[in-house]
Amino acid sequence: MCPTREQYFESWESEDLDEKLTQLLLLDRPHPKCQEPLVRESWHHGMVQEQGHLIKVQDLFGPAISTQKKPHTIILHGAARIGKSTLARQVREAWKQGRLYQGHFQYVFHLNCRELALSKVLSLAELIIKGQDVVLPPIGQILSQSEQLLLILDGLDEPKWVFEEETPELCLHWSQKQPVHTLLGSLLSKTTLPDASLLITARTTALGKLMPSLRMPRCVEVLGFSKTARKDFFFKYFLDESQAAKAFSSVKSNHALLTMCLMPWVSQLVCICLKLQMEHGKGLMLTPQTTTALCLHYLSQIFPTRPEKTQLRALCSLAAEGIWKGKTQFSSKDLRKYGLEEAIISTLLNTGVLHIDSSCHSYCFSHLCFQDFLATIFCILQEADGFGNIDIIKGVKTSLGICGRNDLFGALTSHFLFGLLSEHGARKLENIFNCQMSQEAKEELLQWVEAEVQNENPYSAQSYSLDLLHCLYEIQDKVFLTLAMAHFQGAMMCVLTDIEFHVFVFCLKFCYNVSRLRVTVQEKTQHEEELEPSSVVLLVSCGLTSRCCQVLASVLSDTPTLMELDLQQNDVGSRGVILLCKGLKHPRCQLKLLWVDHNHLNEAVSVELRDLEKVKPQLLVSSIRNQKESSPQVAQVEPFCLSSSALLEDQPTELLGTDDNFWGPTGLVTTRVIDKDKNLYRVHFPVAGSYHWPNTGIRFTVRGAVTIEIEFCTWSKFLDQSVSQHNWMVAGPLFDIKAEPGAVAAVHLPHFVDLQGDHVDISMFQVAHFKDEGMLLEKPTRVEPSSTVLKEPSFSPMGVLLRMLPTTALRFIPITSTVLLYHHPDPKEVTFHLYLIPSNCSIQKAIDDEEKKFQFVRLHKPPPVAPLYMGSRYIVSSSKNLEIIPKELELCYQNPGESQLFSEFYIDHLGSGIRLEMKDKKEGIVVWKALVKQGDLRPTATLVLPDLTASASLATVPDTLHFVDRYQEQLVACVTLVDPVLDKLHGHMLSEEQYESVRAETTKPDQMRKLFSFSRSWDWACKNRFYQALREAHPYLIVELWEKWGSMGNQEAS
């Protein structure tokens, strides 16, 4: 059964709805959409910076992830009528019932700012107790415990208040009366009750004027119902489960309507309409595609026959007065003033348009959104019926009390204006009010839109903001939309919900001049799987599924100017790609470049793509973007099968030594040098898991087998061109990583900032991405002692930066550092080079390469015993009277490839060894020390591995063992990279059967024993090939064995 009329028209105060509204999607991110940079040149610096995460209402006053500090000011913001005020009221009700914030707040007061605005002056005491429905202790007692006080300022943006920061000396006694806006301003700035907590509700578009008055607020956006909550709402509203199932099923058949049910007021209005249809024995089909059409449908159900024109107009006039004067409650006198008779009032109460507020014996609109709707009708009728001389636009601006253009397009009144002036809306109004709508009104509306758009940079977020697109969506007029979107070539907007995506895609179909579209997806949050958020790269970034591709296919066929479409990191699936191909084959589609993930696509897609290639030979379809390409015509498309290990043999590569390989679930994983000059490496991870490269500090967590390319880059190539280095400190190496989109679940990028002691604010860490547009900053998922972690990463040249505030000096940032010590033996003396650098693998590698050119060998010694500081100077000394030049080293960051600072000293005989140490020049504290002994030194000759192919004469020497035979026991015990060796021998000395029999052995030593069992039949040349394969796989092991060979040879010679 259904609830009674009184129960289901109780609007937002019911217990059931309270239970559901606490499950609204709440997005916590420091920079709301309206606070993000808007101009293209500056926008990309903060685009990825704060995507945010979902939180629950009970966590609003909990520690923030970025700072781990508990906030004292929360601002709940969002679109008009999204449920902010309802949630705020029910926070107070839940606390009152002992279900929320117990132990946190002893006093919670809900203050309706719209009602407060009716009072000119109030004291702090009057402000707090105004409208409270409980007996309170003395106000002095409450204010003496202000740290346990929560003030809910509901609708702070609605009155036209201008807040000015109050100085402490102007703070008056709590009994002293002040202008209300002054009193509230002192609360916002924490001049009054600095320890009290504030919960503020406001529209997102109004945050610009509020943020300067707030002290370190936590911004939480109310996004509306999740998909699950929408369904749950229906089953809570209809107590009869079969009726709930039928109602929800009927809405599911209308995708646009189901999407709009994200807004709680739409969900409730839909339920009311369906309930009325059930009562009248009508079918449950609902066809409205817009909120305006839904409200018109509701109006037609309230008045199934043509209503009394004067009475309905009076109701619209009452609604408009409420909007203008900020009134939500009306007395019986107010209703009589507008000529509303008892019969019509009874109808409005019975159908749920009005309800009686028993606490103050006044009438209220059950849905404030419906009040907006009726007020908009009043503005339109003013012109249509000649009741006034104002035009429609001015009427709407008056009704809004306009504060700025964003408020104008973001208000529901504006949405309804566009919907009511549509062909369907105008026809409905003419029928209801028996009036004639002028076509000039729609022309006036179009001129207004064009004027607003052309006043802005065509690439700014304001030009074609989502607020404006919402308005355009409501009108549903192809000619109007085509003219309105004529200037649309590209924009930047943040799409957070499925309704925003629905509106965007709808409007995009009428953009005939768009030239480039790139769509990607933000990572799913761990708390809420239904969030379909995204952050924009060029036009929009959103969660696409196969269902969306049918709409995109029509966009492709209707938009001949679109040249490039990027759908990477979207779950479009095989069906979605096939739908896209239909649009791509359309003769009007001129697309040149399509980026789409090829993961998990079936064979039917491959057939479809091959067919597409025949129809559209000019179209390139790829799954990995070359970050350096400047246009589709010059794009160098990498092959789809980059994840295949077979590619490892496509070009000359060089295996690294054991210490330079990744470690993963299967042990060592071979890393290959693709290009020494570019420092380009390639590695294939065979299975899912975590892989760590110890020598660099980088770590990948992958979902399955994948091939990754890693290039070491220099910051100077990118950073100087993008931002001032004075604002940022380089905090780690810079990598250019390429991998299949979606294959990497997380990447750990190394940094050298020492986090011990909590001296560093981890919120200052950012990951810099360098793209064609410039530098983009992304907040890491978390910061660990030696790395920053990004989940679901996108790849480009990327590395870790630390933001430097004006008050921050480098000498206060603790650094994890490394001391590098190299030696070069000479018949007369040994030369040493000593470096002090940040722990950066790129710098260390550059130094290693430079020293090797001059036959220097590195000695591995422990790192400094404590964190050091950039810009600090350190004195190098020794236990012997050595000349060290220079004696003083400064810890600084020098890009790889630049000349690095080092100290040089010489010694002719080590004897029992020398002790080296490094002291802080200012403090005199020893920060590093080491002992160098004769046994540490390795002959230079061991750096050059002998080439046995040049020693063929040894083969003719009787009883001479080959190197591999002499060290068979050591090779069996120590070789761990057997597969690369087998690959080199396969087809030369190993048959297919022998190759497989070696690989079938379960352990590496057994594999090597099996391999050696075949070597008995090999000649010297075959053993040379075996040696070459071992030398490539394990160069350091071969070095050690050659040293043994040399020492044995010397012993034999002696």
Per-residue pLDDT, 810: 60
Q: pLDDT digit string (tens) for 213-236?
A: 787 888 898 988 888 888 888 998
Most confident range (mean pLDDT) of 15-29, 459-473, 584-598, 877-891 is 877-891
Per-residue pLDDT, 37: 32
How far is residue 673's CA from residue 676's CA, in Å, rounded to a whole number? 6
Residue 617's pLDDT band (cuts 50, 70, 90):
confident
Residue 930 bridge partners (DSSP):
916
Residue 886's pLDDT band (cuts 50, 70, 90):
very high
CB-side exposure of 919: number of CA atoms within 13 Å? 9
Q: Chain centroid to CA 240: how far? A: 41
Please report the sign of the dihedral spanned by the C-alpha atoms of residue 406, residue 410, residue 415, residue 416: negative
* Cβ neighbour number for residue 980 with a 10 Å cutoff: 16
CA-based nearest residue to 1037, from 964, 952, 971: 971
Per-residue pLDDT, 399: 55
Per-residue pLDDT, 196: 92
First CA to last CA distance, the chain: 106
Find the helix or strand (DSSP H, E) in which 87 lies. helix 84-96
One DSSP character per residue, 624-649 reads S--TT--SGGG--PPPGGGG-GGGGG
Segments in 423-542 forming alpha helices (H): 423-433, 439-454, 466-475, 478-484, 498-508
Token digits of residue 308: 């009394």
Q: In what order do the strands lie in the sheet with 362-365?
A: 329-330, 362-365, 354-357
Per-residue pLDDT, 833: 94
Lowest mean pLDDT among 16-25, 536-545, 676-685: 536-545
How far is residue 727's CA from residue 807's CA, in Å, rounded to a whole number? 11
Lowest mean pLDDT among 85-99, 165-179, 785-799, 853-867: 165-179
Residue listed under structure tokens 């080079």: 833
Per-residue pLDDT, 734: 93
How far is residue 499's CA from residue 505's CA, in Å, rounded to a whole number? 10
Q: Angle, nearest 10°, between helix axes 412-420 and 423-433?
A: 80
Per-residue pLDDT, 51: 54
pLDDT at 400 over 80: no
pLDDT at 150 over 90: yes
How far is residue 230's CA from residue 239's CA, in Å, rounded to a whole number? 15
Q: Which amino acid, one-letter code, is at 1043?
A: E
Measure Cα distances from 316 to 4, 288, 370, 399, 762 in Å: 27, 22, 10, 12, 54
Regarding pTM above 0.85, the answer is no
Lowest mean pLDDT among 634-643, 731-740, 1042-1051: 634-643
CA-based nearest residue to 418, from 385, 373, 452: 373
Q: pLDDT digit string (tens) for 618-647?
A: 777 765 433 333 332 222 333 232 223 333
